[in-house]
Structure 1
């Protein structure tokens, strides 16, 4: 096996702030031009770095733009970028706007970024130009820090609950769940791969997450394995493995989201691409009334009293598909369960599962999804289950191939919900190994105080997207992993 070297993050290496505006002696009909740029090296390691450029238009409104600059060192190269079409010829770098961010009104800003390579030295560019207008000004280069912008988790993970439209700690401080999902617990036990698909669950593996500034981990589970109905390990051995891993994570300052991912229930009329097996060997449209309440009774009893653990009641509901995309029927099935159109098994609705958890005395924060694999949360408030503790968050997933995958959709469908209830973006990613879509999404999520966890912390090899690491030591995949790690290192879970 080819040896892979762990990437060493060195923290922020430099910030360049430039500003200028051309105003003198312009003819009456001429356009006012000008710009300011803040260039930040967010993360640097031997041979590589991640940088962001925040571009502000100080002149008349633009319908498109191109940012240009020269690298001072001949070894500096852009290897992959997001937020713009990046090209390089010699030292000259050009970043041309995309369809979604080309329009910049006066004083409007946009953020773009890239991963780069270097050798010898990695100095910041001396100047920038926007559509040919030079942005002039002073250069600020801070002292390089050996640590990240936001310190890694330290001490035990905080107890959390919902308050208004925020998740808060026990002392009322607003808090965001920022991290990753780790796959394995949902499928390995029914595929002969143990509990965690041969991945480590020791202190070293948790330390690797902490180097990314990961403060939350979503752990998918298998209903039948937890209940001892199928798989190996199953029953008590499976439960004990989950408990030990959760306790280790919480002790290291990482909140855990336990997610009911694979469940029992035949779906014989599903499309050919979908698993028709009645056993918990794939993602079903809805949880089943036969076993899902038993699962949540067991999980809630195991972790009640530990409010650092969150319960994601069902991974990605899509009852609207078997209902021939009737949204009203889909939302009714999601909340109320019972006999749902197109499904031959009795369904456990979200109200059933909320009631099940609360009947144990558990006070943990609960996540409840929407339709279309929880990408559609438009009617979430209307069909919100009743929780006597009012301790619910909306679960949202947003991949680049989903229907709601643009700023305009997020503004119209997600932002209004975020004003009313906490939203946890429990899964997101893109259908290639880049970071451009994900950068846009986390930038938007940061502006709206959303929690988010990228898929997935598994070293499967990134060939079609949604794989963050090369190995369990946390070496990031080029593009997607490097970009997300660099972003996490700039974030604090505390608002």
Structure 2
């Protein structure tokens, strides 16, 4: 975020209570057409979990197809039917169609394989009036999902991991395309951003913008089922270059807050948000000050590696803490929107087109962290303020720990703000590396766009943290709470709290 102000676009929303309906389908589906790429796929022992978020005149449905067998399944077609007038609007992570009351979903090219004891998720939005009873006739590849392999008499079951009620946040690492705990349990970072560590120290506001960072404030977060908090930081304050408090005092404030959150079961993402560097070639609307008083297009070689070496030395050995190396890169704007130049600058740094200061690339920052011996998970955002992730894999820095996740931001005013874009640009990335939605929000105080993002992220096992847990008054969006006790803002806050209360960070795909 650019401090407390961002450009916004207007949308309308109506958010109802979240209803979670998960279970095993017991009856065979009637009818339905089969897609060519799944027509020959075999029936298998499966379970379908069905969850909805209903706002009265419509709802979002999330469906997870679990393979309970010991062999992978290649190609799937899901069918089920509604009893009322539910009408398909649009779907994601599958080819969705409806004929009468029967809904059919077939796999896309990238999610056609369901690993043994694995699952895939898909979702769609529907309109309706009257009643909205849950379907009961789920079938996959022509056979009812009863948990029994149709070709045998053997029943296969799965084990569900129960999250701890109390205790510290789990230590995390990357395993394939998933964040996992120390024992290998899949885990999602689900929570909020808590702003002010990036700006209060350089705006004469002290440390946390007069907001509490005590046990009571953490207890308020617990009432929302928050399991992760992203904390933006300022490199000049950390290094005692500019602003107050700075140096050891600033660092101790950060350490105390991180320790408090981790003790209370919340993972912390430390984010380098504001950095040094005069971006004098910037547009008129952009801050040109060399000090870390605004968002710059890229981190600087003068202080940013030094900042990360200091942070890594402070928190190494605590792998419940994740390092988000730079908030929202946009070097391509300085290069007249040359994406190739932008990605090269993003990874390699140095002298970058249109940026007058020497840039620290993502490889420089990875090296700075790893040189300390720190093993923490690293998050790296893409171009266009972390919204464009298309070349992220191609330019991914080398990490000797292979412990890097992608940091994606998705606001309603971004270029990639539709399910079609997420399916084509984000889903293939999420199939290769863990993706964390480090910021998301919309340009008003509703929850309609954010609900779509959260539903899509749930279907792809992506964690998310919206902006922001600060009581600034919601007039243009991106403010979740009315006060530090956690009273939700109408619409945006109420909708997100209701959604978050249905989520389990330990839930498997």
Q: TM-score range by the shorter chain?
A: 0.7 to 0.9
2:463 to 447, 451, 457: 451
1:307 to 302, 319, 336: 319
Deviations 1:27-73 (A, max 9, x none): xxxxxxxxxxx89689xxxxx9999564999899xxxx9x87xxxxx
Name structure 1 gaps, 5 residues minimum: 1-10, 24-37, 43-47, 69-94, 115-124, 130-134, 138-149
Task: Say yes or no: does 1:160 pair with 2:172.
Answer: yes
8 Å contact from structure 1 (residues 151, 213) kept in 2: no
TM-score, structure 2 length as denominator? 0.74
1:430 to 433, 442, 459: 442
| SS of 1:396 mapped into structure 2 | strand
TM-score, structure 1 length as denominator? 0.76
Write the distance in 2 (CA, Å) between the matches of 1:422 and 1:487. Answer: 22
Write the distance in 1 (CA, Å) between the matches of 2:166 and 2:505. Answer: 12
Name structure 2 gaps, 5 residues minimum: 1-16, 32-49, 64-77, 106-122, 138-161
Please name the residue that 2:482 is paired with.
470
1:328 to 305, 323, 340: 340
Cα RMSD of the aligned pairs, angstroms, is 3.5
Write the distance in 2 (CA, Å) between the matches of 1:16 and 1:417. Answer: 28
8 Å contact from structure 1 (residues 152, 211) kept in 2: no
Please name the residue that 1:213 is paired with.
225
Task: Say yes or no: does 1:345 pair with 2:349.
Answer: no
8 Å contact from structure 1 (residues 398, 425) kept in 2: yes
Please name the residue that 1:185 is paired with.
197
| TM-aligned CA distance change 1:59 to 1:345, over 3 Å | closer
| TM-aligned CA distance change 1:152 to 1:473, over 3 Å | farther
Task: Say yes or no: does 1:202 pair with 2:214.
Answer: yes
Write the distance in 2 (CA, Å) between the matches of 1:53 and 1:373. Answer: 28
Please name the residue that 2:109 is paired with.
none
Please name the residue that 2:103 is paired with.
107
Write the distance in 1 (CA, Å) between the matches of 2:474 and 2:88. Answer: 27
8 Å contact from structure 2 (residues 470, 484) kept in 1: yes
Write the distance in 2 (CA, Å) between the matches of 1:197 and 1:369. Answer: 26
8 Å contact from structure 1 (residues 153, 210) kept in 2: no
Task: Say yes or no: does 1:277 pair with 2:289.
Answer: yes
Higher relative contact order (Cα pairs below 8 Å, separated by 6+ residues)? 2
Deviations 1:338-380 (A, max 9, x none): 0000011000000001001000010000011110001001011
| SS of 2:336 mapped into structure 1 | coil
Cα offset, 1:250, TM superposition? 0.1
Which portions of structure 1, spanning 4 or more consecutive aligned residues, are displaced by more than 4 angstroms? 11-17, 38-42, 48-60, 95-101, 108-114, 150-153
Number of aligned pairs? 412
Cα offset, 1:127, TM superposition? 3.3
Deviations 1:135-166 (A, max 9, x none): 999xxxxxxxxxxxx97862100000101000
| SS of 1:173 mapped into structure 2 | coil
